[in-house]
Structure 1
């Protein structure tokens, strides 16, 4: 696949009939020329996967696909996850519906990486707009590879080999009655992952701690851990590491959960925003 450079904002992929339009120097790109309702050939899927790894999040416009087509597209990239918060009686458990309205404010307005409480956190997620407010409800992504590269050499050396613990209850405990917490922890015990993760496909390093699920750095004084995590988590808020998507009907975003974090702006209340997410299973971080 021809690499899209900042000075060449739109490039034609050599292996498949789509173009890549970067939205920043390192993160975010629109993919043009594909119809995701169709079955794409293996070469196109491989090229999309390369674009995902390079740009961390890829966007598609005018994709008015069905739920079945959404799931089928995601399955081309691997096994799909079922989120614990998906209703047990849902016909298509691969779909996680994220819906907010006047009675339920958006709560995803903080920087996070999905399901890092799993032993094998997700490869990435594919989010489809179902119903949008007239204005607002944008999503932002942060390049955590760039965030790592922006650290001092001294801090990089300090982080080498450190592990941090991630907990399901930190992010979702408020949604579950306290008397059920023990059972939830038995089913989803806290997991330790590297503070600096190596991408399994690119080999690039990225910061892998997030506000939603990371509780502390293993074997570190609690005060020191808290201060260090605060500094590391703050890096996602750096505008130079970010890209912002304004949703439109038919928009789809596919992000690499191994090298990015995201933030759903909750500025549209009391209006309605409904999104469907399908998540591709990943591997144990190293």
Structure 2
């Protein structure tokens, strides 16, 4: 794939590329938009460095890719509800150390997210992404046939809450749990077809996917545990070292990500704007 306006440098063998030639504070023209979108489709997650942008510019950049999502319970910027504030300290690591796709308990989960580093630790605090096309393609043919057509229930209930929020205070847990329990959840196919590329991707995750529909609880648990372990194989992944002003833009429909909580007492603050998606099929 050729690019005239941007530089695209892959950072791993099977997922991820760093993009040069874009100032996110400025509107993308038609050609630049096409090239950035093409790079996202080709590499699943793309990275930008040295982006000194305001919350309003962050929102404006994201709006070029679709309407924006407002998270149902997490804290956001006071002037821009589309900007989710993810501030992590030693006692609060949010969804760190868990592979997941975002907000799959909604009927139409996000297309993707644009994450900006506002404050990063001197050491540690990397994020990893995994290629769910490859996770699906690496399954055996009998397993693919078994999974084809199956759906799984995704919820934001207590079980998933406990996995991701062990380090929150009791008061913080209660407030977030109230928001999560208000979400009824959604059933999505275990194997999802990407609406742009047409490729099939594994679409279950360890935070929100609770049970395969139509099978026993014991069978569901065994299959889901196998898939959760399978999808994090190192050859499916890339790892990104954050700097202040770095940005990651990932396709939530064909990736999972994992925030590595290895930075001790340091604080890490990220701002995330999320683009609305469509119903998985």
Deviations 1:256-283 (CA, angstroms, capped at 9, x unpaired): 0000000000011211100000000000
Cα drift, residue 105 of structure 1: 3.6
Q: Name the CA distance, whole Å, in 1 between partners of 2:32 and 2:211.
A: 41
Q: Which runs of 4+ in 1 moved over 4 A?
A: 173-176
User: May I ask how many residue pairs the two structures share in their alignment?
Assistant: 272
Q: Name the CA distance, whole Å, in 2 between partners of 1:218 and 1:212.
A: 17
1:172 matched to 2:161? The reply is yes
Provide the secondary structure at the position in 1 that maps to 2:231.
Answer: helix
Counterpart in the other structure of 1:7? none
Provide the secondary structure at the position in 2 that maps to 1:211.
Answer: coil
Q: Name the CA distance, whole Å, in 2 between partners of 1:232 and 1:104.
A: 28
Q: Name the CA distance, whole Å, in 1 between partners of 2:89 and 2:187.
A: 35
Compared with structure 1, are the counterparts of its residues 101 and 87 closer, same or farther at alpha carbon in structure 2 (3 Å cutoff)?
Answer: closer
- Is contact 2:75–2:85 with CA below 8 Å preserved after alignment? no
Compared with structure 1, are the counterparts of its residues 265 and 184 closer, same or farther at alpha carbon in structure 2 (3 Å cutoff)?
Answer: closer
Instruction: Find 1:35's aligned residue among 23, 27, 35.
Output: 23
Counterpart in the other structure of 1:229? 224
Instruction: Find 1:155's aligned residue among 143, 150, 167.
Output: 143
Counterpart in the other structure of 2:237? 242
1:55 matched to 2:37? The reply is no
Compared with structure 1, are the counterparts of its residues 60 and 184 closer, same or farther at alpha carbon in structure 2 (3 Å cutoff)?
Answer: closer
- Is contact 2:86–2:270 with CA below 8 Å preserved after alignment? yes
- Is contact 2:6–2:35 with CA below 8 Å preserved after alignment? no
Provide the secondary structure at the position in 2 that maps to 1:96.
Answer: strand
Compared with structure 1, are the counterparts of its residues 57 and 88 closer, same or farther at alpha carbon in structure 2 (3 Å cutoff)?
Answer: closer
Cα drift, residue 107 of structure 1: 3.8
Provide the secondary structure at the position in 2 that maps to 1:177.
Answer: helix
1:75 matched to 2:72? The reply is no
Instruction: Find 1:276's aligned residue among 262, 271, 277.
Output: 271
Cα drift, residue 38 of structure 1: 1.0
- Is contact 2:76–2:82 with CA below 8 Å preserved after alignment? no
- Is contact 2:86–2:269 with CA below 8 Å preserved after alignment? yes
Q: Name the CA distance, whole Å, in 2 between partners of 1:132 and 1:106.
A: 15
Q: Name the CA distance, whole Å, in 2 between partners of 1:75 and 1:217.
A: 34
Structure 1 length-normalised TM: 0.90
Deviations 1:134-153 (CA, angstroms, capped at 9, x unpaired): 00000000001001000001
Provide the secondary structure at the position in 2 that maps to 1:63.
Answer: coil
Gaps of 5+ in 1: 3-12
Provide the secondary structure at the position in 1 that maps to 2:32.
Answer: helix
Q: Name the CA distance, whole Å, in 2 between partners of 1:240 and 1:156.
A: 20
Counterpart in the other structure of 1:6? none
Structure 2 length-normalised TM: 0.91
Q: Name the CA distance, whole Å, in 2 between partners of 1:208 and 1:41.
A: 33
Q: Name the CA distance, whole Å, in 1 between partners of 2:70 and 2:232.
A: 29
Gaps of 5+ in 2: 166-171
Q: Name the CA distance, whole Å, in 2 between partners of 1:148 and 1:103.
A: 35
Counterpart in the other structure of 2:84? 96
1:197 matched to 2:192? The reply is yes
For residues 4-43 of structure 1, what are the structure 2 equivalents within 5 Å?
Answer: 13-14=3-4, 17-43=5-31
Cα drift, residue 160 of structure 1: 0.6
